[in-house]
Structure 1
């Protein structure tokens, strides 16, 4: 082994050293991301240097047209696949990925319904003007207050998750009068992540009913006059590539659907979401059109073999709609070469955010990409680790990436594919204010979620709002 190779830090097998560490990898960045003549990254025609000057860093940036285009693609892909088999499809945007009133307006304008999972998400969707009849409400522990709000608003469907919830919801509907459409969440025993899936006989998780217990739950719903059983719901995982896991799950859920038809019509089958995106050049997500065709074909085949009518199909993409539209912008504060065992050196690049604005690397070991955004460089690629400013050794933003070796304090660093589950999971750890969310479109930028300030955080501290009591000192 040469001295040069001994001095290089270890890179994971999936990470290939790029010929050009300035290049933006297709599929990882928003479609219209590009560098201008000065080498500055521009998103929807807006240079990130201008965004920093106007809004500061860290900063979440969302390409509005990218979100809208992906919403339309999902809508059309499932509509075409369903129509080919003589049925229709409903596509719900999974609000947990990222939710604001503007996002709700974008996706509903493009023909999507919205899935919410808490009273707060419900309130956002309603405040944005979403049609309540086109909302679905999830959650394994919906409170009485949340259920009352959903029923009062006229939410189109509530996905029930336990026998207790069924009775709780029935009581609310009885007090108010009228009816409420419900789906029953079931666990198919299929677990899918990226291109792999595992099929088991039993589930050990907090969501839904085992397949063996679902019939009793449906029977109870059908006994209760205020509840209308509309169908089954199943979600098998997230960041899924390919259709094999969906096909296996469909076989199991359609079998249950067929059995339950003896008790009455079942208009809907909701197969959830979890469609994957590209976070790095190594990721190869399945196009939504291919996913839609493969999943609907599998369900149609299972129904045909059982001699039953194909129901209305529903799906819940979130990450695949908003994830690739997001880029997080940071400023580099320090760089530090760290000598490793064996003589190699890793370059640590510290930025002004971290796990408070993107918890996924710390929570799941999620991998991301990064590029210097304020300039290009002819320096050789160096293997770096991008880290945040929090008091945690696990505060990693990008675990492994090649950046130009001259990356330095003051550089802007952009991390793509951060539209989903970054703002949603953000926190005030170490008392860092949460960043603003800025939408870009047609060369213009506007704030869609205001960033926090230290004053905002202090305003919630009741100790500052209460005068000292007798005997206390200030």
Structure 2
């Protein structure tokens, strides 16, 4: 198991953020989400520096869908990041956390009537418009509230990034955005001219997630900047000044993953943008990037208590924990791979065993890690799965009526509760 961020081993026990993980277990019980606050802040600062936010006026917007609580909103705001949200619930979370609404980008392929209305009333900075239906809704509520709303058009640029088919979004066969190839984008540009209370200021694209190659991003930069020039030159009443390149930078989950650094990605994108702008003889627009997974994935871990151990001779050994697909659906959904360790004997030497880490849900597919090598493990041991900071908590469910885990941030030897453990009473709170 690779140690991430502030992880260190003291007296054969894993510590994160200077905090003994066994002390966290005593205080909060298991299952438990733990976030390394220092690692998140350091990654935020690396993005701000590498993407030339201060020098060029560019912006970094955290993709809240990866992991969003009020505490996380406050953290990214303190670090100078904007926020991208994809639902009314995420928008309301940011609002209650005190996030400046002008720093919000509101995404989504099918924003509801109520969500569009809420976004207009709260004053979000940019709507990332995905379809013609949404344009009509925005205009309607802008007229009712006597407001003018700045928007981006989401573009489907036709880039098929090499990643899992469920998280590719840049190809033409996608539920997201206006396609370039079939002319929908150009129809949208013509249509927006009819609206009095909408101002088209930018274009957006997102080509996928967990991408390790830099080239697809460079292709995206070239396509988007050429598109910006084309629109500005052919439409006297439109002036695009912002280009949002989305997110998707890959991260380390297991030894098979070889991610580039944040600075390598950002510098390549910035350099390509400068090169293309010079070739096209256009003023460099404000560039945006929307990291989600790459900010929080490695900073998050999930801690469990080992329960039953079932050895099926000559077949498999199942090690079951007190969580599972309700707190991390990605292995079941995407066949995602993770690493794990035993925190109460993290460095202990002994025989390694091939085991499968199973969850407690009443589903055969509730498997967290298949066929992993681990040291001597017993019921009652405390097991950690690393790199669960993205899409663990945010995709958690109450399947089997299992309460959701608490969320704890650790830094400089202190722990801070960001989200309480759900109780059985909480589970029934909305039932009548």
What TM-score results when the alignment is normalised by the length of structure 2? 0.94
Does the aligned pair in 1 maintain the 2:169–2:176 contact within 8 Å?
A: no
1:299 match: 273
2:210 aligned residue (239, 242, 248): 239
1:389 match: 360
Which segments of 5 or more consecutive residues in structure 1 lack a partner in the other structure? 1-23, 463-474
Does the aligned pair in 1 maintain the 2:14–2:343 contact within 8 Å?
A: yes
1:402 aligned residue (373, 378, 392): 373
1:21 match: none
| Structure 2 residue 107 is the aligned partner of structure 1 residue 134 | no
Q: 1:164-179 maps to which residues of 2 (within 5 A)? A: 164-179=133-148
Does the aligned pair in 2 maintain the 1:189–1:199 contact within 8 Å?
A: no
1:155 match: 124
The CA distance in 2 between the partners of 1:394 and 1:254, in whole Å, is 44
The CA distance in 2 between the partners of 1:202 and 1:358, in whole Å, is 27
Local SS of the residue matching 1:418? coil
What TM-score results when the alignment is normalised by the length of structure 1? 0.86
1:192 match: 161
**RMSD of the TM alignment (CA)?**
2.0
| Structure 2 residue 289 is the aligned partner of structure 1 residue 350 | no
1:90 match: 59
1:40-92 Cα shifts (integer Å, max 9, x gaps): 11111111111111111000011111111111111111017x94xxx431000
1:35 aligned residue (1, 5, 9): 9
1:468 match: none
1:284 match: 258
The alpha-carbon distance between structure 1 residues 219 and 433, as it changes in their structure 2 partners (threshold 3 A), is same
1:357-391 Cα shifts (integer Å, max 9, x gaps): 00000110100000011114322222221110111
1:204-228 Cα shifts (integer Å, max 9, x gaps): 1111010121122122223311001
Name the stretch that deviates more: 104-113 or 218-227: 218-227
2:309 match: 335
1:224 aligned residue (177, 189, 195): 195
Q: CA deviation at 1:300?
A: 2.6
Q: CA deviation at 1:181?
A: 0.3
Q: CA deviation at 1:292?
A: 0.4
The CA distance in 2 between the partners of 1:402 and 1:77, in whole Å, is 37
Local SS of the residue matching 1:190? coil
1:9 match: none
Local SS of the residue matching 1:334? strand
The alpha-carbon distance between structure 1 residues 234 and 201, as it changes in their structure 2 partners (threshold 3 A), is closer
Q: CA deviation at 1:199?
A: 11
Local SS of the residue matching 1:347? strand
1:156-177 Cα shifts (integer Å, max 9, x gaps): 1000000111111111111211
Does the aligned pair in 2 maintain the 1:387–1:398 contact within 8 Å?
A: yes
| Structure 2 residue 87 is the aligned partner of structure 1 residue 118 | yes
1:332-355 Cα shifts (integer Å, max 9, x gaps): 10212234xxxx443221100000
The alpha-carbon distance between structure 1 residues 400 and 78, as it changes in their structure 2 partners (threshold 3 A), is farther
Q: 1:19-58 maps to which residues of 2 (within 5 A)? A: 24-25=1-2, 29-37=3-11, 39-58=12-31
Q: CA deviation at 1:194?
A: 5.1
Does the aligned pair in 1 maintain the 2:73–2:97 contact within 8 Å?
A: yes
1:266 match: 240
The alpha-carbon distance between structure 1 residues 441 and 236, as it changes in their structure 2 partners (threshold 3 A), is same
Does the aligned pair in 2 maintain the 1:74–1:289 contact within 8 Å?
A: yes
The CA distance in 1 between the partners of 2:49 and 2:199, in whole Å, is 29
Local SS of the residue matching 1:363? helix
| Structure 2 residue 366 is the aligned partner of structure 1 residue 426 | no
Radius of gyration: which is bigger? 1
Which segments of 5 or more consecutive residues in structure 2 lack a partner in the other structure? none
2:413 match: 443
The CA distance in 1 between the partners of 2:348 and 2:431, in whole Å, is 45
Does the aligned pair in 2 maintain the 1:30–1:326 contact within 8 Å?
A: no
1:359 aligned residue (309, 325, 329): 329
The CA distance in 1 between the partners of 2:316 and 2:257, in whole Å, is 24
The CA distance in 2 between the partners of 1:272 and 1:145, in whole Å, is 25
Q: CA deviation at 1:323?
A: 1.0
How many residues of Structure 1 are paired with residues of Structure 2 in the alignment? Answer: 425
The alpha-carbon distance between structure 1 residues 195 and 167, as it changes in their structure 2 partners (threshold 3 A), is closer
